[in-house]
């Protein structure tokens, strides 16, 4: 857990800014780009760097690319429909890729362990962690498990939060104009950790985006003893699914729930049963602080430099089993920030319209 304490997270800021800028520099002005892909590359590079430090290259290393491909196979319905280890099937391919991921991660873990230094990254901290009672270090298998979970949980989620937010902003020109006004009144360049506290509209935009299109739309628990829930008797071992998405669209809690309205957060403080994009309770997302800082910095840096224009007449469909992503990516044309926010508004079709009100 110390790797995710506030002080430690703040120390990741400079590295984040450098990686974000190097990815944004690859965007070509007046050309279309799949913003979903750009955000994935960006958060993957941030995750690999903060996780493994200098043990992976600037590009995120082969570990990043391998995990990407496992992630793709994992969320492919063909993998879950035929879960058999038979050559030619997606499931077989996924198992092979996972073995390669393990191999690559073990190589990094062994290399770092042998050096025995604290490089300031998450893996260094996990290697040095000792059980308070037994004094034992994590085994290689435990390290492998933690690193894979943190990597997977820590980049696709933030990438989709960013993609959905940029999409929502592209369809709400007035909110985007107000947000840019706020950013320009506080910032001279990429935000510092202190400046992130002075951007209330940015915070509300992200909160509202994760309310209306939560990157993780559901989670689950297993009952550890017999219990009763809303009049239903649940024996021990029952799987209970919680819809974060439905919770965030309850009209008694959120009037006009399909309206993207960051203003609603000016006077509303929900409890953890009403708003839980990072889940709640003792297993709440360990990376929530990290994610909020990363998302804020990326949005500020993107908006201050570029205007992303939605390409009309494209379908935006929800997709994914664990993380909700746009099925066909998010193609947008990239422009220097010229405040022409009304361009590219409308012309969206697809089932995203069931989740959020959008202009025609
Ligand atoms: C917008 C971004 C993110 C969202 C929406 C998100 C959401 C979630 C949710 C809903 C859970 C499930 C918790 C439960 O079962 O109740 C979770 C768990 C987790 N998340 Fe995140 N997450 C995000 C970013 C991150 C980042 C950046 C990291 C790490 C760098 C991270 C690491 C984890 C880990 C390790 C867990 C498992 C925690 C446990 O079981 O104790 N997440 N996250």
With a pLDDT cut of 90, the percent of the chain lying above it is 64
154 lines ligand 1 (CB under 6 A): yes
Pick the residue whose CA is nearest to atom 26 on ligand 1.
Answer: 154
Q: Is 233 exposed, middle or buried (0-12, 13-18, 19+ CB in 10 A)?
A: exposed
User: Taking 90 as the threshold, does the pLDDT of residue 65 lie above it?
Assistant: no
Q: Find the radius of gyration of the CA atoms of the chain.
A: 21
User: Taking 80 as the threshold, does the pLDDT of residue 47 lie above it?
Assistant: yes
C-alpha of residue 154 to centroid of ligand 1, in Å: 7
Pick the residue whose CA is nearest to atom 38 on ligand 1.
Answer: 285
The pick from 244, 247, 287 for probing ligand 1's pocket by mutation, whose C-beta has the most ligand atoms within 8 angstroms, reads 287
* CATH fold for domain 2-211+247-354: Cytochrome p450 (1.10.630)
With a pLDDT cut of 70, the percent of the chain lying above it is 96
Rounded to 10°, the helix 173-186/200-212 angle is: 140
Mean pLDDT in residue range 102-122: 84
**Residue owning tokens 């890729």:** 97
51 lines ligand 1 (CB under 6 A): no
C-alpha of residue 219 to centroid of ligand 1, in Å: 11
User: Taking 80 as the threshold, does the pLDDT of residue 9 lie above it?
Assistant: no
Tell which residue, 71, 20, 12, 64, has the closest CA to residue 42: 20
Token digits of residue 44: 């993957």
User: Taking 70 as the threshold, does the pLDDT of residue 61 lie above it?
Assistant: no
CA 133 vs CA 3, 129, 136, 137, 313: distances in Å: 20, 12, 8, 11, 60
* Under 8 Å between Cβ of 131 and 119: no
- Report the alpha-carbon angle 146-149-154, nearest 5: 120
Buried b (16+ CB within 10 A) or exposed e, 175-208: bbeebbebbeeebeebbbeebbeebebbbbbbbb
pTM, two decimals, is: 0.91
Strands (E), the chain: 32-34, 218-222, 227-229, 232-234, 239-243, 306-310, 314-315, 318-319, 325-326, 331-336, 348-349
Q: In what order do the strands lie in the sheet with 32-34?
A: 32-34, 331-336, 306-310
For 306-334, write each residue's pLDDT tens digit: 999 999 888 999 998 789 999 999 999 99
pLDDT of residue 38: 95
Pairwise CA distance, residues 23 & 191, whole Å: 17
Pairwise CA distance, residues 75 & 323, whole Å: 9
For 152-208, write each residue's pLDDT tens digit: 788 889 999 999 999 999 999 999 999 999 999 999 999 999 999 999 999 999 999
pLDDT of residue 102: 85
217 lines ligand 1 (CB under 6 A): no
Pairwise CA distance, residues 290 & 3, whole Å: 10
Buried b (16+ CB within 10 A) or exposed e, 320-330: bebbbbbeebb
Pairwise CA distance, residues 303 & 264, whole Å: 22
The pick from 277, 285, 290 for probing ligand 1's pocket by mutation, whose C-beta has the most ligand atoms within 8 angstroms, reads 285
Pick the residue whose CA is nearest to atom 36 on ligand 1.
Answer: 285
C-alpha of residue 244 to centroid of ligand 1, in Å: 13
46 lines ligand 1 (CB under 6 A): no
Closest atom of ligand 1 relative to the 215 alpha carbon: 5
């Amino acid at each position: 857990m110390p790797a995710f304490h506030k002080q430690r997270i703040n120390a990741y800021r400079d590295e984040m800014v450098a990686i974000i800028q190097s990815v944004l520099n690859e965007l070509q002005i007046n050309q279309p780009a799949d913003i979903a892909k750009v955000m994935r590359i960006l958060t993957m590079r941030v995750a690999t760097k903060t996780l493994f430090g200098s043990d992976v290259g600037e590009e995120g290393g082969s570990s990043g690319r391998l995990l990407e491909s496992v992630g793709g196979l994992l969320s492919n319905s063909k993998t879950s429909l035929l879960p058999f280890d038979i050559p030619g099937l997606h499931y077989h391919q996924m198992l092979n890729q996972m073995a390669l991921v393990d191999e690559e991660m073990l190589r990094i873990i062994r290399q770092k362990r042998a050096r025995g230094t604290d490089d300031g990254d998450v893996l260094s901290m996990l290697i040095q962690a000792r059980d308070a009672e037994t004094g034992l270090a994590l085994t290689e298998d435990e390290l492998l498990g933690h690193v894979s979970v943190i990597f997977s949980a820590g980049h696709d989620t933030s990438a989709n939060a960013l993609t959905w937010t940029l999409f929502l902003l592209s369809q709400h020109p007035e909110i985007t104009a107000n947000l840019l006004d706020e950013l320009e009144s506080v910032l001279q360049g990429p935000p510092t950790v202190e400046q992130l506290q002075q951007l209330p509209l940015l915070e509300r935009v992200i909160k509202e985006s994760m309310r209306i299109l939560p990157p993780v739309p559901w989670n689950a628990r297993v009952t550890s003893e017999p219990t009763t829930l809303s009049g239903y008797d649940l024996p021990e071992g029952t799987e209970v699914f919680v819809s974060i998405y439905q919770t965030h669209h309850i009209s008694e809690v959120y009037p006009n729930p399909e309206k993207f309205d960051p203003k609603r957060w000016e006077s509303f403080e929900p409890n953890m049963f009403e708003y839980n994009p990072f889940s709640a309770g003792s297993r709440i997302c360990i990376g929530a602080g990290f994610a909020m800082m990363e998302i804020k910095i990326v949005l500020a840096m993107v908006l201050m430099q570029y205007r992303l224009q939605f390409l009309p007449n494209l379908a935006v469909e929800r997709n994914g089993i664990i993380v909700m992503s746009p099925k066909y990516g998010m193609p947008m044309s990239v422009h220097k920030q010229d405040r022409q926010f009304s361009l590219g508004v409308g012309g969206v079709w697809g089932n995203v319209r069931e989740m959020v009100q959008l202009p025609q």
